[in-house]
Structure 1
């Protein structure tokens, strides 16, 4: 039976961050990854530009995490948006900040950053073992299915960074949840987060599949989000919709404001103007500058259209969306649920399993897209790695700039 000093299970951002902290403290670290290569979800995120974090004050950043803001506060205080940027730059990756505050590598992809990161870890002596799928415990040991057959490891400390339960093909399948629950770790059931909405479109919507809807504001349970959505063959998706996942998951109705820059009174006044021989569709297009996509949505969900101006304006400003709920969890960008905070100590150690820590999306938190997901994965991975190594948990001025040379062993 192999007995590494430190074992990290899961080769995503949280796991790699934990491995770097352990190795930086002088521990001999093994990272076990079930897939043939590490950080597959990270690389997939890079296909749309790799939004690393969001350049904003810490208080505003924390607010994005909702109920999990307080338990995440110490981790994000120690390694928040500013520290994430310094860390990436310390890996030789120049960054830029978009008009929305979102921070991206100039390369606009994840692979250069990942290569530099893995090179640093290799220099620290971290050993990566791919196609090592964790299968739970065999007595006191951790059992893995490997290309060479079953292997048991009995590490000094373990950091679990196994992801949530979406995008199983990239490695996050949630299979670990019953194993931890059977050992007394409280686990909140998984639920989709940052998820698309299922809509059974009529045939006339087909020409609009793949097109964005903007300008647009979306409202559910009194929460209003200004953003855009995209019409897909299976429903609605996009950054304007994803922040409303918690409300939609709870069964709240969704309405669309198709002219978010106009007050309802202004919309009614424009629609009450002379129409002449124009059709109602042409009148809507000219009076409100509705493009074909928004006009199609109005016809999809509000036919027969009211003829009275105020009633029609009310539909334009609060268009009810008929939908079949959220898309399946495996299609969601992320998941809510996972290891409950009550089962964790201040260092993200599992109370029921001394010497075992958890980090990343397998913890019970959720956040909208926009850099928040990756920021918290990095921050919790760093926190758990430092705690497992016995290192101080507070932030330091050299965050992300650690030497590749091992430090004194804990």
Structure 2
């Protein structure tokens, strides 16, 4: 992808373009590639000084591209949006994502949980290869600020620029991680055009906990081999105790249900039934402390024992203690701030776009990625959803003529 420095369109002068993609995240780059493949002349504008910043940040802890599992189980992870996204995921699901990454020279491996990663465990080699493959121009430091008349208005390092594209794909992200470019500011400009916006809500986030002092030694500690329960949602996973609260992959997997009102609880011994826990508790020697016995008989490590005390004291005995260990209520003060969330729910709802992801009230303007009102857990679903909607919007935008 060729970079363009400077501002081709000076203040007051409108530059004519064929196809414009606003936002250079994974959905935007996928849309740009589809437009270019169809023969459209594509310009990609990005507000930040470099492309794919959130994608690159995700890759720092291991780039989980997708989840290799039966398709129906995969689609079900998208919850209420599963029916809407199904045709897009049928075209760009787990197997297609794997082929796409391999086509960019990335060797992949699949973990025991089905999560798919590049062998190098980071995003930068993939992004470099991808940018080099897309025949489009990339204008960095261009922030979209709405419209002037019919022209699309941008603030750049050299002042204001106005663009008049024949077709546009909007991929500006949700409303979390502002420093990486997703600030949700676009919602106000969409609303000015009469487009309904579903309120933003944090997704894949941790929860605030006002810990007592005895938890301080455990800040940063992982809570392994637990089951997290939120209403009808139950997942086996891990969590992390932080100074701010409780977070981690297992928490993110149930965070939407908790955010929407379900109570969160932890099963500290997911491999034992309540009856088995009670039977082991009944064998505790009189002279042995309960804390030591919980570690020896039930395998509860120090952080699990600390959590049991934090949310369960005064601890009951017998069957009641077994029940508490199997369903320990998590007392929290609500989600962490939205800007700390990995992703967001809300945005442009299904009713505002047609089957091609074109805005009904703005013909020739297509939308993809987290701007749309869908959410999915981490574990490969988020990135696959962005790639799938980006490809779908790009392919349909390529066919658009005013």
Asked if Structure 1 and Structure 2 have the same fold, meaning a TM-score greater than 0.5 normalized by the shorter chain, the answer is yes
Which position in structure 2 is the counterpart of 1:371?
380
User: Is 1:182 aligned with 2:176?
Assistant: no
Partner of 1:278: 288
| Structure 1 Cα separation of the partners of residues 289 and 254 of structure 2 | 35
CA root-mean-square deviation: 1.2
- Contact 2:284 / 2:293 at 8 angstroms: preserved in 1? no
Stretch moving more, 283-292 or 91-100: 283-292
Q: Cα deviations across residues 113-159 of structure 1 (Å, max 9, x unaligned)?
A: 000000001xx2x0100100000111101000001100000100000
Gaps of 5+ in 2: 1-13
Report the counterpart of residue 319 of structure 2 in structure 1: 310
**What residue is the counterpart of 2:109 in the other structure?**
96
Deviation at 1:304, TM superposition (A): 0.9
Q: Is the 8 A contact 2:207 2:245 kept in 1?
A: yes
- 1:18 counterpart (28, 31, 39): 31
**1:297-352: per-residue Cα shift (whole Å, max 9, x none)?**
0011111111x210111111111111101101100000001110001111100000
Residue 67 of structure 1: CA displacement? 0.4
| TM-score, normalised by the number of residues in structure 1 | 0.93
Match of 2:167 among 157, 170, 195: 157
Q: What is residue 3 of structure 2 aligned with on the other side?
A: none
**Could you list the runs of 4 or more consecutive aligned residues of structure 1 that deviate by over 4 angstroms after TM superposition?**
none
Shift of 1:222: 2.6
- Alignment partner, residue 402 of structure 1: none
Secondary structure of 1:386's partner?
helix
Which deviates more, 281-290 or 102-111?
A: 281-290
SS of the residue 2:122 aligns to = coil
Instruction: Quote the residue 1:405 is aligned against.
Output: none
CA-to-aligned-CA distance 1:366-402 (integer Å, 9 cap, x gap): 00001000001001001100000018xxxxxxxxxxx
Unaligned runs of 5+ in 1: 392-408
CA distance in 2 between counterparts of 1:53 and 1:274 reads 46
Instruction: Tell me the residue number matched to 1:327.
Output: 336
Normalising to structure 2: TM-score of the pair?
A: 0.95
Deviation, structure 1 residue 251: 2.0
Paired residue total: 389
Aligned to 2:214: 204
Q: Within 5 Å, which residues of 2 pair with 1:202-281? A: 202-281=212-291
Corresponding position: 1:70 with 2:80: no
- 1:274 Cα offset (Å): 3.8
Deviations, residues 81-113 of structure 1 (Å, cap 9, x unaligned):
111110111111111111111111111100000
**Distance in 1 (alpha carbons) for counterparts of 2:238 and 2:90:** 31
Q: Which residue of 2 aligns with 1:8?
A: 21
Q: Kindly state the Cα deviation for residue 296 of structure 1 after the two structures are TM-superposed.
A: 0.4
